[in-house]
Amino acid sequence: LKNKKTSKLWSNVLGLTTKPSPNGSFILKGETKPSGPELSLYEVNTGATFVLEKMSLVEKCNFTQDETILTCGTPVRFEQNAYPYNWYLRKIKTNDVLIRYTTKNKNSRIISNIVDEINKEIDVFELVSNNSGSKTGFIDKTSMDLYLYEE
């Protein structure tokens, strides 16, 4: 217990949600801004924070086991709303694309426009990926159907 330490990272953050990476190198942080829910990647070792370019919810994202890739279900658009609360309560649903970020250089790319592929809007949650990111599973929050995206 002598080497343990507790530090406050953030305070007074509206709609704060977080998800640590598997080994704790990163913390994905979500907060509600006037424009919608903002995601940022906090690097634990350096204390650096990088705001991700697309808005989404922490609950729609997952790190690969080796922490090199972050994949997110990202809504095509956001309406003015109380995020993430009304999403939790199923008062709103989203139409998502899959976006992949690299944790090293923070590059991103759309890997799947789901509605174009299956002709159905999907509200992604419970997303998981294999280590290479070539397989990504997720549940449609609206129907509770399970989907698998493969590259």
Q: List pLDDT tens digits, range 41-97.
A: 999 999 999 999 999 999 999 999 999 999 999 999 888 888 888 898 999 999 999
Nearest Cα to 7, choosing from 41, 49, 47?
47
pLDDT (average), residues 14-42: 94
Distance CA 147, CA 30 (A): 24
And the tokens for 64?
Answer: 């690969």
Beta strand 36-43 with 49-51: parallel, antiparallel or unpaired?
antiparallel
One-letter amino acid for residue 43 of the chain: E
* Confidence (pLDDT) at 78: 83
Q: Please tell me the chain's helix, strand, coil percentages from 3-state DSSP, rounded to the nearest 5.
A: 10, 40, 50
Across the range 15-26, mean pLDDT stands at 95
Distances (CA, A) of 130 to 65, 69, 112: 7, 10, 16
C-alpha count within 13 angstroms, C-beta hemisphere, residue 75: 20
Give the whole-angstrom CA distance, residue 151 versus residue 149: 7
Residue 124 near residue 118, CB atoms below 8 Å: no
- Helices (DSSP H) in 58-121: which residue ranges? 85-88, 114-118
Distance from C-alpha of 15 to C-alpha of 36, rounded to nearest angstrom: 10
Give the model's confidence band at 4: pLDDT under 50 very low, under 70 low, under 90 confident, else very high: confident
What pLDDT was estimated at residue 1?
Answer: 56
Q: Return mean pLDDT, the chain.
A: 92
Two structure tokens written together for 23: 């080994």
User: What is the mean pLDDT of the segment spanning 101-118?
Assistant: 93
